[in-house]
Chain A
Amino acid sequence: MAEPSPHSAPPTLEVRNLQTHFFTRAGVVRAVDDVSFTIGRGKVLGLVGESGSGKTVTGFSIMGLVDPPGRIVGGSILFQGRDLAKLSEEEMRHLRGNRIAMIFQDPMMTLNPVLRIDTQMIETVQAHEKVSEEEARGRARDALGMVGIPSPDERLKSYPHQFSGGMRQRVAIAIALLHRPDLIVADEPTTALDVTIQGQILAEVQKLCATTGTAMLWITHDLSVVAGLADDIAVMYAGRVVEFGDVGEVLDAPLHPYTHGLIGSVPSRNKRGEPLRQIPGMTPSLLKLPEGCSFRARCPRAQEDCLVMPALHDWLPGRLARCHHPHLDEVATA
């Protein structure tokens, strides 16, 4: 395809130093604290992290779905050059579901259990465009067909509970696709599915991104899914992006010790029967993060200077890491 290279075209989404904090009674939770990444047209960015690393809040911030006591307190979210963090609720509503769509882990977050699929899909189409019901129904049917739902005409008349888990997720994806959005934020969309069904959905998503030019933010804890699906990867730890780069390069030779440990602890990366390499300790509470680098206490390379928070630095072309002592030696040998 004659797509412009991502380096010349402006990125679909550029998140710069995003900060989303929750002002709770127990204190300020810095759920997202300095997150930056870019996604080009038709590209898939895998946003990876463990529970509580802030990946979901990042997705919600982009969608403008952060509820009080949470608030975006800093940074910018540039979507095709417009800063989403500065838009009014009304302006955001025109974009949401139209130019930007979201897919959740649980498709029942998207679907209304008491309405038929066609009602919900037609409503979605007509919310953003003045089209006849006939035409909206046609668009809904095409969208269902596109995500591989057999006999879409019949299935339109079904209720959500009449679908299996995998099919429900397909319907949720179809709804996200109705307006051919420029960006889809997908939050762990295949985590609850069986592997064979996950494989089917991943294959559909790959096809869609390649053919429609939709950019995708794929939020997951599963490195193996990102390995096969994404173009770029951003790794989050304790509210910050600690590493960003091309998915192959990062997974083959990670710079940040946390990424290194995370990849090392995947069972298939270890010799069978040998103890798994593990990261000692556990994720710190976001309420009382240690001073300096948040990973310091668990890091085998930590030194005195780690008491100062490192910046996200581009150690190599296109390879960013938030670390004073990255694994540069291994990149040379990889």
Chain B
Amino acid sequence: MSQAQMPMQATNAPRSFSDTETPMVELRGVSRRFAKKLDIAAKLARRLGASVREEIVHAVDRVDLRVRKGEVVGLVGESGCGKSTLGRIVAGILPQSEGEVFWNGENVAAMQGEAAKIGKLRRQMIFQDPYASLNPRMRVADIVGEAPLVHGLTTRGKFDGYVDEQMRRAGLDPAFKRRYPHQFSGGQRQRIGIARALAVAPEFIVCDEAVAALDVSIQAQILNLFMQLRKDLDLTYLFISHDLGVVEHLSDRVVIMYLGRVVEEAPTERVFAAANHPYTQSLLNSVPRIGNRKRAFTTVKGEIPSPLNPPPGCHFHPRCPHAFERCRVEVPVLREIAPGQRSACHLNDAA
């Protein structure tokens, strides 16, 4: 994958399959905060002088992200790191609190009318839980066909043929289209989710832990389907997962998040061969691998801190084996340390 190894700076160069083109999706300084509103009792208590404050979670904290056309970007992190929230912002189903999202170079917030609608339609999402993301009271044909019908991609008359084609493409037998989601196995349900996402002819797919709930042998089938579809339909993916094995296999580039911030981003080979950030390194060390035999578990000390009350400075410093004074006070910035590799660690300045 040559495009994955090129530098990340984009300019307004002519459209070609390279890094110089406008990224398909670009986030600039995107943050998302969730606040727990005070209830009446708490408001009253505050009136009376109690030190009650709104609890604010910085789920995503000033993230920059670029995804170029045709690329598969893996987004990795542990629970509570904000990867799903970021995925939802990219897919356009959750507004950001701060920052800007660009779609093919256009600011999404400034897009209006038809353009905004089509822009949104081109970005689709596939969810983790195929049990929860399908309406149990709708037949498969309607789950898959409803959106294209509403958006005029098909007509009532051509509906059946259109749905059949979508189902076949996702590896489902169209004979089952009158069935309900509960009549399918987990892997098949995930295929329904895929057929639904693809039915509106998207260009960009956000997969949020799309294979995490599946058995290994079924997971392989679905991952192969993703790769086949990428080739056939020229898709671009943001692939969110906690499973580094899956991400390594699928992605051109990997972005690693920790407590709302991107800590490292690099081409896949680079991440797995020469990870720079101490968090990435310890994450890679913790992953059990089928090739690692007997008694080789290394551990990162400590717990993932609560996102309600993240540590100051670098979020990772309480667990980091190399932390020094500066890490406790100053937030490290994401800087380029090698072609295509960016890392947010003060250690890179020391050298």
Q: A residues engaging B (CB < 8 A)?
A: 50-51, 164-167, 194-200, 202-203, 206, 221-225, 227-229, 231, 247-248, 251, 261-263, 265-270, 272-273, 275-279, 282-283
Pick from B217, B221, B248: contact of A267, CB under 8 Å: B248
Pick from A165, A198, A265, A268: contact of B248, CB under 8 Å: A268
Task: Report the bound CA distance from A43 to B282 in whole Å.
Answer: 28
Pick from B187, B282, B298: contact of A282, CB under 8 Å: B187
Taking the closest CB of chain B, its distance from the CB of A3, in whole angstroms, is 15
Task: Report the bound CA distance from A200 to B249 in whole Å.
Answer: 25
Report chain B residues within 8 Å CB of A272: 248-249, 268
Decide yes or no: A196 and B304 within 8 Å by CB, A50-B215, A282-B218 being known contacts.
yes
Q: Is the interface of A mostly helix, strand, loop or mixed?
A: helix
Report chain A residues within 8 Å CB of B289: 224, 227-228, 268
Apart from A196-B78, A196-B304, A199-B299, list 16 A-B contacts with CB within 8 A.
A195-B78, A195-B286, A196-B300, A197-B303, A199-B288, A200-B299, A203-B298, A224-B289, A227-B292, A229-B288, A247-B293, A267-B246, A268-B248, A275-B227, A276-B249, A279-B220
Task: Report the bound CA distance from A265 to B216 in whole Å.
Answer: 7
Is the beta-carbon distance between B217 and A265 smaller than 8 angstroms? Answer: yes
Pick from A51, A251, A261: contact of B290, CB under 8 Å: A251
Is the beta-carbon distance between A273 and B248 smaller than 8 angstroms? Answer: no
Task: Report the bound CA distance from A279 to B185 in whole Å.
Answer: 16
Report chain A residues within 8 Å CB of B245: 224, 266-268
Pick from B224, B285, B286: contact of A275, CB under 8 Å: B224
Is the beta-carbon distance between A199 and B298 smaller than 8 angstroms? Answer: yes
- B296 contacts chain A at the CB level, 8 A cutoff: yes
Task: Report the bound CA distance from A203 to B298 in whole Å.
Answer: 7
Pick from A203, A221, A228, A273: contact of B299, CB under 8 Å: A203
- B79 contacts chain A at the CB level, 8 A cutoff: yes
Task: Report the bound CA distance from A261 to B218 in whole Å.
Answer: 11
Taking the closest CB of chain B, its distance from the CB of A231, in whole angstroms, is 8
Taking the closest CB of chain A, its distance from the CB of B127, in whole angstroms, is 18
Task: Report the bound CA distance from A199 to B289 in whole Å.
Answer: 11
Decide yes or no: A282 and B185 within 8 Å by CB, A265-B217, A269-B290, A277-B220 being known contacts.
yes
Is the beta-carbon distance between A265 and B290 smaller than 8 angstroms? Answer: no
Report chain B residues within 8 Å CB of A279: 217, 220
Taking the closest CB of chain A, its distance from the CB of B173, in whole angstroms, is 13
Is the beta-carbon distance between A198 and B286 smaller than 8 angstroms? Answer: yes
Pick from B1, B217, B293, B303: contact of A273, CB under 8 Å: B1
Task: Report the bound CA distance from A247 to B294 in whole Å.
Answer: 9
Contact with A along B222-266 (1 / 0, CB 8 A): 011001100000000000001111101110000000000000000
Taking the closest CB of chain A, its distance from the CB of B327, in whole angstroms, is 18
Task: Report the bound CA distance from A229 to B303 in whole Å.
Answer: 22
Is the beta-carbon distance between A202 and B297 smaller than 8 angstroms? Answer: yes
Report chain B residues within 8 Å CB of A283: 215
Report chain A residues within 8 Å CB of B243: 267
Task: Report the bound CA distance from A194 to B76 in whole Å.
Answer: 12
Taking the closest CB of chain B, its distance from the CB of A61, in whole angstroms, is 22
Show 15 A/B contacts (Cβ-Cβ < 8 Å), sorted by A: A167-B303, A194-B79, A199-B285, A199-B286, A199-B287, A199-B288, A199-B300, A221-B215, A228-B289, A229-B294, A247-B294, A262-B216, A266-B290, A267-B220, A268-B249
Task: Report the bound CA distance from A197 to B287 in whole Å.
Answer: 10
- B291 contacts chain A at the CB level, 8 A cutoff: yes
Report chain A residues within 8 Å CB of B227: 273, 275
**Which of the listed residues B1, B216, B286, B299 has the most CB atoms from chain A within 10 Å of its own CB?**
B216
Is the beta-carbon distance between A276 and B290 smaller than 8 angstroms? Answer: no
Decide yes or no: A164 and B249 within 8 Å by CB, A273-B1, A277-B220, A279-B217 being known contacts.
no
8 Å CB contacts to A: which residues of B272-329? 282-283, 285-300, 303-304
List of 10 A-B pairs having minimum Cβ-Cβ separation, nearest first? A199-B286, A265-B220, A267-B249, A194-B78, A50-B215, A224-B288, A278-B220, A276-B220, A279-B217, A203-B297
- B219 contacts chain A at the CB level, 8 A cutoff: yes
Pick from B223, B288, B295: contact of A222, CB under 8 Å: B288
Task: Report the bound CA distance from A134 to B70 in whole Å.
Answer: 65
Taking the closest CB of chain A, its distance from the CB of B222, in whole angstroms, is 9
Is the beta-carbon distance between A270 and B249 smaller than 8 angstroms? Answer: yes
Report chain A residues within 8 Å CB of B292: 224, 227-228
- Cβ-closest chain B residue relative to A267: B249
Taking the closest CB of chain A, its distance from the CB of B192, in whole angstroms, is 15
Taking the closest CB of chain B, its distance from the CB of A50, in whole angstroms, is 4
Task: Report the bound CA distance from A225 to B246 in whole Å.
Answer: 15
Pick from A164, A223, A227, A229: contact of B216, CB under 8 Å: A223
Task: Report the bound CA distance from A247 to B287 in whole Å.
Answer: 18
Is the beta-carbon distance between B297 and A206 smaller than 8 angstroms? Answer: yes
- Cβ-closest chain B residue relative to A190: B288
Is the beta-carbon distance between B290 and A278 smaller than 8 angstroms? Answer: no
Report chain B residues within 8 Å CB of A277: 220
Report chain B residues within 8 Å CB of A275: 224, 227-228
Is the beta-carbon distance between A194 and B288 smaller than 8 angstroms? Answer: no
Is the beta-carbon distance between B296 and A196 smaller than 8 angstroms? Answer: no
Report chain B residues within 8 Å CB of A267: 220, 223, 243, 245-246, 248-250
Taking the closest CB of chain B, its distance from the CB of A176, in whole angstroms, is 19
